[in-house]
Amino acid sequence: MAEEFVQISTGEALTLGKSLLEKAGYSEDHARTITECVVRAQMDECHSHGLYRLISCCELIERGKVDPSAVPSVEDRAPAIVRVDSKRGVSLAGFEAGLPKLAEKAKASGIAAMAINNCFHFSALWPEVEAISDHGLVGIAMTVSHAWVAPAGGTKPVFGTNPFAFGWPRPDKHPFVFDFATSAIARGDIELHRRAGTPLPEGTAIDAEGKPTTDPEAAVGGAMLTFGGHKGSALSAMIELLAGPLIGDMMSAESMAFDDGARVTPLHGELIIALDPESFLGQATAVNLKRGDALFDAIEAQVDAIEAQGARVPSARRYVARARNEKSGTMPVKPNVLEELKARAK
Ligand code: NDP
Ligand code: PYC
C-alpha cells in the first residue's frame, strides 16, 4: 500500500514555498506571507489549507487573475473601523498590513472591525484569530467564497463554503480557537478526495440531480451541503451579508461570476472583529479570562468518557500536532502533493 504521508522538513517546506511562489511571479511580501501561512497549516496538519494551496496560488497568476505585486493600503475609516484595500492581491498581506491598526482601535474603543476588500482568499482563518489573540483580544473572522453550497432543502448552489473562526486569549496558554467552513466539508477537502480518487464522507454533497453522492466529481457538478442543516444554512447567509454587502464586497455568487470559469481561488472581502476584554473588565480581566478555563476543563474532563469519541476542545488537536512537528522539525504531507510542488519548483 502506498504511504499516506511523507515527511518534509520545515526548512525545506519554507524554501519550496518561497521559491515556487517567487518563480510564479509573486512579490517578496506575498511569497513570504503565503508561504508562512501554508507551512503553519501543514505543521498543524490542516491538509486542506496547507502546502497543497501553493498550487492554487500559482494558478491565480497562470490564469491572469491576481496582482502578484499588489501593495495593500490601510484606511482609517472611523473610530472603530479599519479598511484594507488588497488591490486584487492575496488577502494575507492585507491582514498583516491592517492588524496593528485593528488592535490599536479595539483597545481604544473596546471593539473594532477590519474589512479587507478586493482580495483573493485561499487560506484558513485560524492564523488570523490566533494573531489577534496575541494582542490579548478576542477575534472573530469570516469570509465568503464561491457559490458551491446549496441552502438547506435546496439543490442549487447559492452560498460559499463560508468559514467562520473564533479566538479567545488564554493567559499563559495557547488561545482557544475554532475555525471551520459552514459547509459540511471544505472545498479543499473535496479537491483532495478528487485528486486521491477517494469517496467523500456521506452527507456532504449532492449530484446534479439533487441526489446524495460521495463521488467528488459528481459533487463538483452538483452542490455541497451546509453543516447542521438549516442552522448552518442561516449562518452561511449571515456570512454572505456581513462579509459581502456590509463591507461593499462580493457575495459568493458574484465571486463565482467574476471567476468566469477560470476555476481559481475566489476574489471577495473578509470581515474581522476584535473585542478587548480589558475595556469590558478593567482590573477584573485576568480573573474573568481565567473563568473560561472552567469551560475548557469541563470539556476535557469528558475525554474518553464516551468510548472512542471522547469530547475535546477545538484546537487541542492542532496544538498537539504543532508541538510534535516543531519538535521533530518535520511535517507530514501527501506524497502526490509534494511531487506536484517539486515539479512546479523545477
Ligand atoms: P473541520 O470540519 O476540520 O473543523 C475544524 C475545526 O473544528 C477546528 O477548529 C478543529 O479543531 C475543530 N474540531 C474538529 N473536530 C473536532 C472534535 N471532534 N471536537 C472538537 N473540535 C473539533 O474544518 P473545515 O474542514 O470545515 O475547515 C478547514 C479549514 O478550511 C478552516 O481552517 C477554514 O478556515 C478553511 N476554509 C477556508 C475557506 C476560505 O474561503 N478561505 C473556505 C472554507 C474553509 P482542531 O484544529 O484542533 O482540529
Ligand atoms: O476549502 O472551501 C474551501 C476554500 C474556498 C476558498 C479557499 N478554501
- Among residues 67, 85, 179, 189, the one annotated as catalytic is 189
Q: What distance separates the 2 farthest-apart alpha carbons in the chain?
A: 59
DSSP classification of residue 308: T
* Inter-residue contact 267 to 88 (CB < 8 Å): yes
* Inter-residue contact 43 to 10 (CB < 8 Å): yes
- CA-to-CA distance for 319 and 327, rounded, in angstroms? 12
Catalytic residue list contains 49: yes
309: how many CB neighbours lie within 10 A of its CB? 8
**Does residue 47 line the site of ligand 1, with CB under 6 A?**
no
Which atom of ligand 2 is nearest to 190's Cα?
1
Domains plus CATH for the chain? 6-62+322-345 (1.10.1530.10), 73-183+226-280 (3.30.1370.60)
Residue with cell 472552567: 294
Percent of the chain with pLDDT strictly greater than 90? 92
Closest residue by Cα to atom 18, ligand 1, is 312
**Does residue 236 line the site of ligand 2, with CB under 6 A?**
no
> pLDDT digits over 178-230, tens only?
999 999 999 999 998 998 899 999 999 999 999 999 999 999 999 999 999 99
Q: What is the pLDDT of residue 305?
A: 52
Tell me the residue ranges of DSSP E strands in the chain.
6-9, 73-78, 81-90, 111-120, 138-143, 164-170, 173-180, 205-206, 223-224, 267-275, 330-333
* Inter-residue contact 218 to 232 (CB < 8 Å): no
The SS3 call for residue 210 is coil
**Does residue 122 line the site of ligand 2, with CB under 6 A?**
yes
Closest residue by Cα to atom 6, ligand 2, is 122
**ipTM, two decimals:** 0.99
**Does residue 31 line the site of ligand 1, with CB under 6 A?**
no
Catalytic residue list contains 233: no
> pLDDT digits over 273-314, tens only?
999 999 999 999 999 999 999 999 998 888 765 455 667 899
Closest residue by Cα to atom 8, ligand 2, is 122
* Inter-residue contact 179 to 37 (CB < 8 Å): no
Q: What is the pLDDT of residue 304?
A: 62
> pLDDT digits over 38-69, tens only?
999 999 999 989 999 999 999 999 999 999 99
Please give the distance, rounded to the nearest whole angstrom, from the Cα atom of residue 71 to the centre of ligand 1. 29
**Does residue 188 line the site of ligand 2, with CB under 6 A?**
yes
Instruction: Name the residue of 37, 122, 240 whose CB sits within 8 Å of the most ligand 2 atoms, as the mutation to test its pocket.
Output: 122
Closest residue by Cα to atom 15, ligand 1, is 314
pLDDT over 50 at 1, yes or no: no
Q: Is the pTM of this model over 0.90?
A: yes
User: Which residues, listed in sequence order, are joined to residue 138 by a DSSP beta bridge?
Assistant: 275
